[in-house]
Structures are given as C-alpha cells and as structure tokens.
Chain A
Amino acid sequence: MQRFYRRAIKDILENRFLTAITVVTIALSILIAAAFALFFVNAGDMLNLWQKGMRMMVYLKASTSEAERLDTKFRLQGIAGVQEAVYISKDEALTRLKEQMQHHSALLENLKENPLPDSFEITLQPSARNSEELRFLAERIQALPGVAEVEYGQQWIQRFTHIINLFSLAGYAIGALFFMATLFIVANTIRLVLYSRRDEIEIMRLVGATDRFIKIPFYLEGMIQGGAGTVIGLGLLYAGYSALALHFAPGLAGGMIQLRFFSVGASAAAILGGTLIGWLGCWVSLKQFMK
C-alpha cells in the first residue's frame, strides 16, 4: 500500500500544475456550497430561538370581573397548544413598561389612570409553534368571552420561514450543482493524467500488471485531491466566517444570537465527502478509460 501512496504522490508532483488547478477549483466549489450551508445552519438557529421564545398575549376587556378572569384562565388552560397562561394585571403591566422605558418613565408618571388592559401571557407548546396552529389557536381564544384582543408575532415569522425554505431549496440545487461540478473536475483531471500516461499503462499491462495495481494510485490521487480541496475550501470559509462574526455578532439581536461554524463532526464529514467525490470522479474516468 505504501508503494501505491508513493506512486500517487509522485504522480501529483509530476502533474503539479494540473493538480493545483483541480484542488483550487474543488476548494472554490466547496467554499460556495459550504457558505450556503453555514447560512442555513445559523438562520435555522435564529428561527428556532425566536419560535422558542414565541408568546401570545391575550388582552382582556376593560372592567372584567375577578370571576370572569378566573374563568378565562381556566378555559385558556383547557385549550390544546397552550402550555401556560400567566396573568398579568394592568398594574403589573405598567410596572414592566416603566422598567423597560427607564429613561422615559417620567412620561408615564403623569398618567392619571392606567391605560393598559389586564392580560394573559401564554406560552405555547412546541407542537403549536407553526403558523396554521397559531392562527387556529388565536381564533379560538378570540372567541372566548372577556377577550378583547389576541396578539402574536405570527406574520413576520411566517414570512421569515418562507424565505428560509426558499433559500434552502436554492441551497440544495446549488449543492447538487457543485457536487456535479466537483465530480466533473476530478474526473477530467484524472482523465488527462490517464491520457498522458496511456503508454506507461499499456506497458504495465504488458508486463503483467493487474487492473487493481494500475488503478489504485489513481484512486488515491483523486481522493487526495478531493480531500485537500475540501480542507482548503472549509479553511477559507472559516477564515471568512471568523472575520465576519467578529464584526457583526455583537450587533445581532444584542448578542442574543450566537453565530456558529460547522461542528468538528460536520467538518470531518464534509472532508470525508470531498474525498469520496474524488474517489467517485476517478471511478468515472477509469471506467471510461479501462473499459
């Protein structure tokens, strides 16, 4: 096996220029595809975070009696999809508002009367965190006596989800495209190398070399190119990511959202994948060449 490695390395060195072009092209393909993947990973994180923190506010009509309030709470908790309903009195709401507006609380000090309604803050069960369920839930709650208004940040989350879905579709298409491109590039490089060595291969056969003996170094070559290209592509992406993250992460939702790179496992899987593409590209051209 060591001998085959030596032959593969020798081949790579002898075809330095061709190998370099191949590796760089693979690296660029991987870079672009991985950049997309990384975007989805982080956008997905964001979406999850928002959905997890998603709440529904149920505002009660003014002049609701204690009994009506208790009845409403009881009914709310009976509705499927509601995890918890916490009562927030209008006084409490005002206190919260004042806390949030620290510097401008003077504005509120002068109020003669609390303009805020009593309300319930509803935490949703995970199963209810999609737009269909949400709308249905909101309608049911709206129909309860004593409820003045139901508010939830549905619209924009829904739109965001749509955009992400659209992007991920484009992402899959681009991924497939770059997969094909990488395969094609490796297959062509190996084909060129095979072509430039056809006399040598013929001589090897005449002196009794098996197909296996002839093919193994080419497979190694393809795999080394695929693996190296992926490592370089991911490395470039990491460099770009680090620079961007340093600049923008603190500004993102006040540091609430943590940007992340691919995990070590995912990176290793990608490198393995690149190596496999190299193998596959080699397989394609050898199949044509050796018939």
Chain B
Amino acid sequence: MTEENADAIIRMFHVHKRYGAKFALKDLSLDIYKNEYLFVTGRSGAGKTTLLRLLYLGEEVSEGQVLVDGLNLSRIARNRIPQLRRKFGIIFQDYKLIPTKTVFENVALVLEVAGRKPSLIAKKVKSVLRMVGMEDRIDAYPQSLSGGEQQRVAVARAAAGDPKIILADEPTGSLDEESADVIMSFLDTFHSRGATIIIATHDKELLERGHARIIQLRDGQLWSTETV
C-alpha cells in the first residue's frame, strides 16, 4: 500500500459490495482522515449502512480493499477482529441494546469485553450516561425506555470505550428534537476530544450543523463530495 496520506485513518480502494447479483456499493474509493467529521448521505438504499458495515467487518467486501488504522481487513486474522471492533464505537440504526441487561450493564459491556477494571467501568459508565442525561435510568431495562432514550443509551455505549472512530447509522432517525440535539452535541464533544466521527444520515437538517465533509452516495456509487 502506498502511503499517500499518513493522516488517513480509513482508506477504501475500489470497494465493491454485492448481495447476490445486486451491487450495494460500486467501485468506491475513499480516504477518511483522523479527527474528521464525515457525513455519508444519500437516499434510502443508496448504500450508507453497507459502507459502515464494511468498516467493522459486519460484512466483507466483494472486491477491493479496506484499511482501518493500519489493519488490512482482507488479511486480518479471525482472532484479531475483536481488536478491530474495539477501535469503533458503533451506534446502530436499531440500537442493538441487550434486552436482558440493564442500561448500566449494556454500557458496561464494551468496557468489560476490553478487559477494564470493574472500578473504572462503574465510573466511566456513570459519566457517559450523565452526558446523555440518562443517569437516572441506570437500572432500567431497555424495553421500559422510549425510542429516544434507547438511542441515547446506544450513543453512550458507543462512546464509553473512548474509541478512535465513532460510527453512527441514522443517529437521529426517528427522534424528537431534544434527543437529537443531545446526541449531536455529545458526538461534538467526542470529536473535540480527537475521535473521528462518521455519520450516515438522510436527515438534511443535520448537514446544516456545519464544519464537516459531506459525501453523497447514489446507487452505491460516490456521487459528490463537499465540505461545509
């Protein structure tokens, strides 16, 4: 690999992703830089979620190569995938909270899998939950929370491990204004602390928050890039 840009934390080279005969992504090349704030936009079905999934090996590419923080994802050993995934904090479109675990346990999980000490885990979990305004619901189970509250817990979980990269798939998808604001300013905080933020969204309003690169996908292809 040529090191054209040492500041790139993610590099995608001619990436194709097919589901059966259907292309979800076509010949996508993209560098994402350290501490960048990136929006991936496009209509429903354009390939935004697919792009994110390729980064943490939720899916494998059909063709092309992806590098994440120096790891070549086509050559990574199976037992090093957890290491790759700990570089990311992921906010899933469907939250993916564990229903049998409390809010606290859900957030603590990312720190437990990374082998952190219990005392540190308790402190860290409470601190991120406070940041999203969920410190009062620490012992609640996900099904007793509203959609917006679940989303906030999912965001707190994504950030709890101080990941290098935060991926957010439609983080404000179906949210009330207030929850959306809480979440966006939370992400801003982590951006200012040095994290790379990648947000997939079709929400036009989000894009007007400024100071970000916006790429647009159309039918799985990179259509346009602009920086605002």
Contacts and interface: CB of A to CB of B under 8 A. Distances in A.
A interface bracket (residues with beta carbon within 8 Å of B):
10 to 19
B26 interface: no
A3 B114 CA distance: 13
A211 B118 CA distance: 20
A209 B82 contact: yes
B interface bracket (residues with beta carbon within 8 Å of A):
20 to 34
Contacts of B83: 208
A127 interface: no
Interface string A196-208: 0001100111111
Contacts of A205: 82, 85
Nearest to B114: A208
A205 B118 CA distance: 20
A210 interface: yes
Contacts of A199: 98
A208 B79 contact: no
Interface string B179-196: 000000000000000000
A206 B79 contact: no
Nearest to B110: A207
A203 B82 CA distance: 12
A207 B157 contact: yes
Interface string B76-99: 000100111110001010001110
Nearest to A207: B110
B100 interface: yes
B112 A3 contact: yes
A200 B98 contact: yes
14 contacts: A3-B118, A199-B98, A205-B82, A206-B56, A206-B90, A206-B92, A207-B85, A208-B110, A208-B113, A208-B114, A209-B109, A209-B113, A211-B79, A213-B112
Interface of A: 3, 14, 199-200, 203-211, 213
Given A200-B100, A208-B82, A208-B86, 12 more contacts: A3-B112, A200-B98, A204-B109, A204-B113, A206-B85, A206-B92, A207-B86, A208-B83, A209-B82, A209-B113, A210-B79, A210-B113
